[in-house]
Amino acid sequence: MNKISYSGYRFPPEIIQQAIWLYLRFTLSLRDVEDLLAERGVAVSYETVRRWVNHFGPTIAAVSSARAASDPLILEPGALLIKPASESGVDDPWEAKLSATSSASPLNCQEAATGQNSLANCAI
Protein backbone atom coordinates (compact mmCIF):
# COMPACT_ATOMS: atom_id res chain seq x y z
CA MET A 1 0.00 0.00 0.00
CA ASN A 2 1.17 3.48 -0.75
CA LYS A 3 1.67 5.82 2.15
CA ILE A 4 -0.85 8.65 2.33
CA SER A 5 0.73 11.95 1.30
CA TYR A 6 -0.43 15.04 3.12
CA SER A 7 1.99 17.37 1.35
CA GLY A 8 0.45 20.60 0.12
CA TYR A 9 -2.07 20.79 2.94
CA ARG A 10 -2.10 23.59 5.48
CA PHE A 11 -2.86 21.41 8.49
CA PRO A 12 -0.70 18.60 9.88
CA PRO A 13 -1.73 14.99 9.18
CA GLU A 14 -2.86 14.51 12.79
CA ILE A 15 -5.49 17.26 12.48
CA ILE A 16 -6.75 15.89 9.15
CA GLN A 17 -6.94 12.34 10.50
CA GLN A 18 -8.70 13.51 13.67
CA ALA A 19 -11.31 15.41 11.66
CA ILE A 20 -11.96 12.42 9.40
CA TRP A 21 -12.13 10.08 12.39
CA LEU A 22 -14.61 12.31 14.22
CA TYR A 23 -16.83 12.62 11.17
CA LEU A 24 -16.89 8.93 10.29
CA ARG A 25 -16.72 7.32 13.73
CA PHE A 26 -19.40 9.33 15.49
CA THR A 27 -21.55 10.22 12.45
CA LEU A 28 -21.32 13.89 13.27
CA SER A 29 -22.26 16.59 10.82
CA LEU A 30 -19.50 18.50 9.10
CA ARG A 31 -20.43 21.58 11.14
CA ASP A 32 -20.20 19.55 14.36
CA VAL A 33 -16.67 18.51 13.44
CA GLU A 34 -15.87 22.13 12.63
CA ASP A 35 -17.15 23.15 16.10
CA LEU A 36 -15.21 20.41 17.88
CA LEU A 37 -11.99 21.40 16.15
CA ALA A 38 -12.68 25.08 16.90
CA GLU A 39 -12.99 24.22 20.62
CA ARG A 40 -9.49 22.79 20.37
CA GLY A 41 -8.14 25.90 18.68
CA VAL A 42 -8.17 24.69 15.07
CA ALA A 43 -9.89 27.13 12.73
CA VAL A 44 -11.12 25.00 9.85
CA SER A 45 -14.33 25.26 7.81
CA TYR A 46 -16.83 22.47 7.39
CA GLU A 47 -16.16 22.57 3.65
CA THR A 48 -12.50 21.75 4.26
CA VAL A 49 -13.51 18.80 6.43
CA ARG A 50 -15.80 17.60 3.62
CA ARG A 51 -12.91 17.78 1.13
CA TRP A 52 -10.65 15.85 3.51
CA VAL A 53 -13.27 13.13 3.98
CA ASN A 54 -13.85 12.82 0.24
CA HIS A 55 -10.12 12.82 -0.58
CA PHE A 56 -8.56 10.82 2.27
CA GLY A 57 -11.52 8.78 3.56
CA PRO A 58 -11.43 5.96 0.99
CA THR A 59 -7.64 5.64 1.26
CA ILE A 60 -7.71 5.51 5.06
CA ALA A 61 -10.51 2.91 4.92
CA ALA A 62 -8.50 0.76 2.50
CA VAL A 63 -5.39 0.95 4.68
CA SER A 64 -7.30 0.12 7.86
CA SER A 65 -9.16 -2.82 6.27
CA ALA A 66 -5.88 -4.19 4.88
CA ARG A 67 -4.33 -3.87 8.32
CA ALA A 68 -7.29 -5.65 9.92
CA ALA A 69 -7.08 -8.50 7.40
CA SER A 70 -3.35 -9.00 7.99
CA ASP A 71 -3.62 -8.72 11.79
CA PRO A 72 -6.38 -11.08 12.94
CA LEU A 73 -7.37 -11.25 16.58
CA ILE A 74 -5.45 -14.11 18.16
CA LEU A 75 -6.95 -15.71 21.24
CA GLU A 76 -5.34 -18.30 23.44
CA PRO A 77 -7.32 -21.49 22.83
CA GLY A 78 -9.00 -22.94 25.89
CA ALA A 79 -8.37 -20.00 28.20
CA LEU A 80 -12.04 -19.36 29.00
CA LEU A 81 -15.18 -21.22 28.18
CA ILE A 82 -18.53 -19.49 27.87
CA LYS A 83 -21.31 -21.92 28.63
CA PRO A 84 -24.83 -21.42 27.29
CA ALA A 85 -27.47 -20.71 29.92
CA SER A 86 -28.98 -24.17 29.46
CA GLU A 87 -25.70 -25.87 30.41
CA SER A 88 -24.74 -23.54 33.24
CA GLY A 89 -27.96 -24.03 35.22
CA VAL A 90 -28.99 -20.39 34.99
CA ASP A 91 -32.73 -19.74 34.75
CA ASP A 92 -32.36 -16.51 32.79
CA PRO A 93 -31.59 -17.36 29.12
CA TRP A 94 -29.77 -14.04 28.63
CA GLU A 95 -27.29 -14.71 31.38
CA ALA A 96 -24.16 -16.72 30.63
CA LYS A 97 -21.57 -18.06 32.99
CA LEU A 98 -17.84 -17.76 32.52
CA SER A 99 -15.84 -20.67 33.81
CA ALA A 100 -12.25 -21.73 33.51
CA THR A 101 -11.47 -24.79 31.47
CA SER A 102 -9.60 -26.35 34.36
CA SER A 103 -10.11 -26.07 38.09
CA ALA A 104 -7.30 -24.40 39.92
CA SER A 105 -6.66 -23.16 43.42
CA PRO A 106 -6.25 -19.47 44.24
CA LEU A 107 -2.58 -20.22 44.85
CA ASN A 108 -2.14 -21.03 41.16
CA CYS A 109 -3.70 -17.68 40.27
CA GLN A 110 -1.23 -15.89 42.49
CA GLU A 111 1.60 -17.84 40.92
CA ALA A 112 0.27 -16.91 37.48
CA ALA A 113 0.29 -13.24 38.43
CA THR A 114 3.98 -13.53 39.26
CA GLY A 115 4.70 -15.32 35.98
CA GLN A 116 5.31 -18.78 37.43
CA ASN A 117 2.21 -20.35 35.89
CA SER A 118 -0.21 -19.53 33.08
CA LEU A 119 -3.37 -17.50 33.68
CA ALA A 120 -5.36 -20.21 31.89
CA ASN A 121 -5.20 -22.31 35.08
CA CYS A 122 -6.93 -19.72 37.25
CA ALA A 123 -10.45 -20.38 38.42
CA ILE A 124 -12.97 -17.61 38.03
Q: What is the pLDDT of residues 84-122, one digit of tens each?
A: 555 556 555 555 444 444 444 444 454 445 554 444 545
Let me know if residue 6 belongs to a domain.
Answer: no
**pLDDT cut 70: percent of the chain above it:** 52
Residue 34 has pLDDT above 90, yes or no: yes
Residue 17 has pLDDT above 50, yes or no: yes
Give yes or no: residues 17 and 52 share one domain: yes
C-alpha pair distances (Å), 8 with each of 13, 38, 63: 11, 22, 21
Q: Which residues contact 22 (CB under 8 A, 6 or more apart)?
A: 28, 32, 33, 36, 37
Instruction: Note down the domain range covering 58.
Output: 13-70
Give yes or no: residues 52 and 90 share one domain: no
Let me know if residue 106 belongs to a domain.
Answer: yes
Three-class SS of residue 6? coil
Q: What is the pLDDT of residue 65?
A: 76
